[in-house]
Amino acid sequence: MSYQLQEHAPPSKVVYVDSLDRDRSLTFRDGLGLSSHFSYTFTESIPIPENIDCLLSLHSASIPYSFYNLREGVNDILEFDFGQYSGANETARESQYLSTKVTSFITIPSGNYTINTLLNQIVILLEAKCQTLGLGFAGKFLMYFLKSKQKCIFSFDPSVGASSSFKLQFRYNGTYTARSSFTTLGLRKIDTQWFAQYYDETSGEDIVVCNPDFKSDIQSATQLQQQNMFLTPNAVDMASSVRGVYIRTNLTTTSTLDTATGNFSKILSRVPIMVQTGGIIFFTPNDSVHKSKISLKEIKTIEVRLTDERNRLLDLNGLNFQIAIQFDFIYNKKVVAPLQKWESRFISHYTDRDKMAKVLEKLRNNEGTIDLVNLEKLLDDYPQLLSNDTVQEWLKENVPKIKKKKEKKNKKIN
């Protein structure tokens, strides 16, 4: 909502908040308070008089880009089923897979990854995990980023010559769905994404296959059997866990709506990420500034949280951030209740239409309205009002003026 600042209203105030100066940390990890969620109590409160509304907005922000794109509890787990895949035909191989498959997962360490470093890490973890499942796995995984498609190739490495026959199927609806890395890797949220390798005794080669819906069909001069390998259905999204920094406070409760919940939220502002990992996110809104109206008698304590778009707390890994919050002040306007039928008929009969709202406002506040009504007309209809002291005083003051106006009018007519 847009508000017009008023000339004679109290001057604006800017409060500079540094997480280093926090009174209390409100979220802890490994016994240490996180700098991204805290409260601070001001030595001097900011009073807000009853006839004043306070408008809150983000003046500026300086936030280190030290949080990770692969985050613990957010997108750090990859679940899968793994089993043997040998046989004379596809039916036999699928039967063996179903009878031997084991459900497992890997946990990817938190950190800031590129897609290549992430895939390298996943290969290391997958190979180590699959070797512990008791299925005799001794092969190698092959995972790389296909830049022309912005997608990933997942497969077993047919060049190793391990004569191994195994199948891996990704699981989305598993135990750790909320922590799945599917979106980051370009996987779709379904349970029919798989790739496999089997040893063909006729040719003496390891043959790679995958779900036909996701076969790459891309020939490569350097990579054997790439056309038969699994190509992720979606593009890689290394920013899937955080696309912007959301600053939330306890002061903003009814001014912003959030589609994640469908309800009003405590978002003060969204800060876009325009720098690379390790840089500083500077933000000074210029073009459009949203001002949130708050209804408090004073501002004494402020609580601040830095989150992603899904309201998940960001961990700055020990670094601090600074924000400046601007408080503007405007005189509030009292809301006048709408006219009831009898009020509308009565007031409209004895006053001008453009004065009706003012008359009603004064009535609601038990204030006099005699100067706004057509008193002559009212007294003609209700002569008993002549005994009213207020009416008598008004008549003494205004009757001479009315007579003069009538005389001037009559002279002009003549």
pLDDT tens sequence across 221-249: 889 899 999 999 999 999 999 999 999 99
pLDDT at position 200 over 70:
yes
- Residue 296's alpha-carbon distances to 48, 54, 144, in angstroms, are 7, 8, 55
Can you list the domains of the chain with their CATH numbers?
A: 13-67+242-331 (2.60.120), 77-231 (no CATH), 341-409 (no CATH)
Residue 47 φ/ψ, nearest 5 degrees: -75, 145
Encode 46-72: b = buried (16+ Cβ within 10 Å), e = exposed: eebeeeebbbbbbbbbbbbbbbbbbbb
Supply the pTM of this predicted model.
0.75
Long-range contacts of 137-142 (CB under 8 A, 24+ apart): 137/82, 137/164, 137/166, 138/162, 138/164, 139/164, 139/166, 139/197, 142/229
Q: Between these two residues, 339 and 23, which has the higher pLDDT value?
A: 23
Neighbours of 177 (CB within 10 A): 13
Identify the weakest region by mean pLDDT among 14-18, 31-35, 57-61, 332-336.
332-336
> Which of 196, 182, 205 lies closest to 229, judged by CA?
196
pLDDT at position 384 over 70:
no
Pairwise CA distance, residues 42 & 23, whole Å: 10
Residue 342's contacts (CB-CB under 8 Å, 6 or more residues apart) are none
User: Which pLDDT score, from 0 to 100, does residue 385 have?
Assistant: 60
Cβ pair 294, 251 in contact under 8 A: yes
| Residue 300: its H or E element | strand 298-307
> Which of 163, 170, 147, 155 lies closest to 215, judged by CA?
155
Tens-place pLDDT, residues 315-362: 999 999 999 999 988 887 655 556 566 556 666 666 766 666 676 666
- Residue 343's alpha-carbon distances to 148, 335, 348, 370, 381, in angstroms, are 73, 17, 8, 16, 16
Q: How many CA atoms lie within 13 A of 383 on its CB side?
A: 1
Cβ pair 228, 215 in contact under 8 A: yes
Q: Where are the beta strands (DSSP E) in 77-224?
A: 77-84, 102-107, 141-146, 151-156, 166-171, 194-200, 205-210
Most confident of 59-68, 204-213, 384-393: 59-68
Cβ pair 322, 19 in contact under 8 A: yes
> Which of 180, 181, 116 lies closest to 152, judged by CA?
116
Cβ pair 105, 122 in contact under 8 A: no
Cβ pair 57, 315 in contact under 8 A: no
pLDDT at position 386 over 90:
no
> Which of 83, 78, 80 lies closest to 196, judged by CA?
83
| Residue 110: its H or E element | none
Pairwise CA distance, residues 107 & 277, whole Å: 22
pLDDT average, residue stretch 284-300:
81
- The tokens describing 158, both together, are 């047919």
Q: Across all residues in the chain, what is the average pLDDT? A: 85
User: Which pLDDT score, from 0 to 100, does residue 390 have?
Assistant: 65
Tens-place pLDDT, residues 124-144: 999 999 999 999 999 999 999
Cα angle 373-374-378, degrees, rounded to a multiple of 5:
100
